[in-house]
Structure 1
Amino acid sequence: MTTKAAPIGIFDSGYGGLTVFKEIVKQLPGYDYIYLGDNARVPYGTRSFETVYRYTLECVEQLFGMGCRLVILACNTASAKALRSIQQNDLPRSKELRRVLGVIRPTAEIVGSYTRSGKVGILATPGTVSSGSYVIEIEKFFPTIEVFQEACPMWVPLVENNEFNSPGADYFIQKNLNNLLGKCPGIDTVVLACTHYPLLISKIRQFLPPHIQIVSQGKLVAQSLQDYLNRHAEIEALCSDGGTIRYFTTESCGNFNDKAAIFLEYPVESEHIEI
């Protein structure tokens, strides 16, 4: 009988984190998971640092209250605007061993192995771009890499309204990619710095020159989490291993179930939660 009692918590402001969650479960299928989507208060990308921090902390505390000891912010905006404050200010106050991890660092750590030109493009929400988090984190690991950013405010609505294969998607994707490459024709690697964007990858590939590599986060974050658990036995020992998954949403369960199926490619049954 296992003595572990803590599922791994996965948080996202909306649905995009499901692309990361899908890869985590594929990489680490034996653990118990709780996925929490704050869908009623989406989007986070256009909100202030203070609001994103407050919303994210409320959801992280909710997951802690449900027994989680390790929480993954599967959201670039939350990782950019709230993770550092939670790690430095809030976790030290806890009497229990708790950890919160994000999606930006695992991506920044590996991007140098993709680029040959040393010029990397970032496609992200306006909030992630304005935070400068990718520029800061990549510089820590690869100070010689030049980073060029492009905010794509229409991409998330296209995905969440199931319009990512429409002619309208073509217009916005091509426009943003042209803007990005116009900032530096030497870009040879593009990071999809929003968890919604993997659903647009075929369209993105269509409008990018074939020599440019596309870096998607899901597998990188899953591999990073496995490495983290291997290196931190004290945290891994707290993670329960029953192979169960529960989905919670702050919105209506019907809406969540319908949209989650687009991201996961299989049906889910969610539970409503008030935060």
Structure 2
Amino acid sequence: MANKGAIGVFDSGYGGLTVLKEIVNMLPAYDYLYLGDNARAPYGPRSFATVYEYTLECVKWFFDQGCPLVILACNTASAKALRTIQQNDLEKIDPTKRVLGVIRPTTEIIGNITTTKHIGILGTAGTIQSNSYPIEIEKFYPDVKVYQEACPMWVPLVENNEHNMHGADYFVKRHIDNIMDQSPQIDTLLLACTHYPLLIDKIRHFVPSNIQIVSQGQIVAKSLANYLERHPEIDQNLSKNGQIGFFTTDSAEDFDDHASIFFGKPIKSTHLAL
């Protein structure tokens, strides 16, 4: 019993809180630790090597806190670091630990949502550059055509609380137009960044009504619940006291001011010096 630990949820900043919110709604009994690496955010424009280095450092911190399972609730970290951590690092650090991402759960089901078999991916420059979504979707749905659009201004708009302002309209419309110009047959748009659900109202405003907009939070939560059912050896090592701890590598006061926008309720975080 003493060796049981919380589920770690990691993001480069605030966006992963939209995923954590859905996970907690679905699996409220578990304990969670959330870490936002705000001091080094955003990850999107950074190199693969840098994102991997930062992500591995944070994953090791979760392991040091006793977390048997860590969720990379960040598309950029999932795209640029997850595979290397899973294949090269876990065996050396602790082969009983697990690290999961947000890309695979989404790509496993996205082909069942589209009717036309034309999907648009909206993400950070890092996620789009990695080509992780087209590669993974092809494994499950080789008949699906994938179109991508990097939206570098969307994260800053959200993190500076400008996402509901009129000034955001230009940047949202511009990237929606760009992705839709790639194929008139697109009927499904995936928000491949955990910040983007906060722009959902503006995105819907500029997207034709027949197009489905897919966010990742509920998908990842359902996938995690299924994973724990299939892996009782992991589940039995997870503590279940319904508690959540929040940590940030930047100012805790600033984090708390912004975090409620993403998590839906006030939180109190602790500064972490890595």
TM class by shorter chain equals over 0.9
Aligned residue for 2:104? Answer: 105
* Aligned counterparts of 2:94 and 2:155: Cα–Cα separation in 1: 38
Cα distance change of structure 1 residues 213 and 6 upon mapping to structure 2, 3 Å threshold: same
Q: Is the CA contact (8 Å cut-off) linking 2:10 and 2:36 kept in structure 1?
A: yes
* Aligned counterparts of 1:54 and 1:3: Cα–Cα separation in 2: 30
Amino acid in the other structure paired with 1:39: N
Q: CA deviation at 1:199?
A: 0.4
User: Any stretches of 5+ residues in structure 2 without a counterpart?
Assistant: none
Q: Is the CA contact (8 Å cut-off) linking 1:4 and 1:237 kept in structure 2?
A: no
How many residues align structurally?
274
Aligned residue for 2:211? Answer: 212
Q: How does 1:67-216 map to 2 (within 5 A)?
A: 67-95=66-94, 97-216=96-215
Amino acid in the other structure paired with 2:18: T
Cα distance change of structure 1 residues 14 and 104 upon mapping to structure 2, 3 Å threshold: same
* Aligned counterparts of 2:48 and 2:220: Cα–Cα separation in 1: 23
Q: CA deviation at 1:96?
A: 5.0
The root-mean-square deviation of aligned C-alpha atoms, in Å, is: 0.8
Q: Is the CA contact (8 Å cut-off) linking 1:8 and 1:68 kept in structure 2?
A: yes
Amino acid in the other structure paired with 2:247: F
Amino acid in the other structure paired with 2:93: S
Q: CA deviation at 1:5?
A: 1.8
CA offsets 1:31-66 (integer angstroms, 9 cap, x no match): 010000000000100000000000000000001001
Q: CA deviation at 1:94?
A: 2.8
Amino acid in the other structure paired with 2:260: A
* Aligned counterparts of 1:217 and 1:39: Cα–Cα separation in 2: 21
The 3-state SS of whatever aligns with 1:100 is: strand
1:26 and 2:25 aligned: yes
Q: CA deviation at 1:3?
A: 5.1
Amino acid in the other structure paired with 1:248: F
Q: CA deviation at 1:95?
A: 3.9
The 3-state SS of whatever aligns with 2:148 is: strand
Aligned residue for 1:243? Answer: 242
* Aligned counterparts of 2:69 and 2:30: Cα–Cα separation in 1: 12
Aligned residue for 2:225? Answer: 226
Q: CA deviation at 1:4?
A: 5.4
The 3-state SS of whatever aligns with 1:240 is: coil
Aligned residue for 1:262? Answer: 261
The 3-state SS of whatever aligns with 1:247 is: strand
User: Any stretches of 5+ residues in structure 1 without a counterpart?
Assistant: none
1:49 and 2:48 aligned: yes
- Give TM-score scaled by structure 1 length: 0.98
Aligned residue for 1:271? Answer: 270
The 3-state SS of whatever aligns with 1:167 is: coil
Q: Is the CA contact (8 Å cut-off) linking 2:3 and 2:66 kept in structure 1?
A: no
* Aligned counterparts of 1:5 and 1:120: Cα–Cα separation in 2: 41
* Aligned counterparts of 1:79 and 1:49: Cα–Cα separation in 2: 11
Amino acid in the other structure paired with 1:243: G
